Amino acid sequence: MSKKYSRHGPEPRKHEPARPEAAVAGGVAAEVLPQGAYALLAGYERRSLAHDPGVPEQIEAPGLWRAIGFRVGEHHFVSGIDEISEILMSPPPVTSIPSTRSWMLGVANVRGNLVALVDLKQFLFEQRTHVTGRARVLVVKQAGGNVGLLVDELIGQRNLTDADRAGAEGEADPGLARFVTENVNVGAVRLGRFSMVELTRTPEFQHAAL
């Protein structure tokens, strides 16, 4: 095929936009992963885009109660999203405190802040939590500083409506009734509405010393 010429000579090549570098494996281009601090920021962005907070009508709908679900042993609980200030994806290293209750695991340094770490299962049911990859720490504000509650598993965000709570039942276990204001059946799962405020105000919880 012959080249086209204008009166002024060969036509200039059109400028092509630069393409991002790619590593090719087996004929498929793979995006080069960012490095360093940029990788961390990119990870935050991906997780943020993957999270669907819902449209404003869903968030502000009358009668909608937004909560965080978690599991302690065989019990599934939900607490108001405004009662939990932070979720740690893994239990931090702790420094034990002598002469304290068995459920008081110690104190942890979380980004320069000292947080008391409590085994919630041990406090509620006198059973030690076996830490697995699903264990999480719910950070709750209380008078005098934050406290971290070790739980078996995080269920995630739950939105309960007035219709969901129409058939709510009370808590039969007197040990839990202090903190669980009602139980709601969502499908096959029974969710106890757990008050973090009542937990942190309980005298037993406030006095961890022997």
Which of 197, 202, 192 is CA-nearest to residue 70? 192
| Residue 174 in this model has a pLDDT that exceeds 60 | yes
The ranges assigned to domains in the chain are 22-51, 60-206
pLDDT of residue 111: 92
pLDDT bucket at 145, cuts 50 / 70 / 90? confident
pLDDT bucket at 36, cuts 50 / 70 / 90? low
Mean pLDDT value across residues 125-139: 97
99: phi > 0 → left, psi -120 to 50 → alpha, else beta; which?
A: left
What 3-state class would DSSP assign to 145?
strand
CA distances from 202 to 19, 115, 210 (A): 61, 18, 16
pTM of the predicted protein model: 0.71
Q: Give me the sign of the Cα torsion angle 78, 84, 89, 93.
A: negative
Mean pLDDT value across residues 147-162: 95
| Residue 184 in this model has a pLDDT that exceeds 70 | yes
Return the percentage of the chain with pLDDT > 70, whole number: 70
Q: What is the CATH number of domain 60-206?
A: 2.40.50.180
| Residue 54 in this model has a pLDDT that exceeds 70 | no
| Residue 191 in this model has a pLDDT that exceeds 70 | yes
User: Could you tell me the two tokens for 53?
Assistant: 């907070």
Mean pLDDT value across residues 144-153: 95
For 89-121, the pLDDT digits (tens) are 999 999 999 999 999 999 999 999 999 999 999
Q: Give the chain's mean pLDDT.
A: 81
Judged by average pLDDT, the poorest of 59-63, 89-93, 141-145 is: 59-63
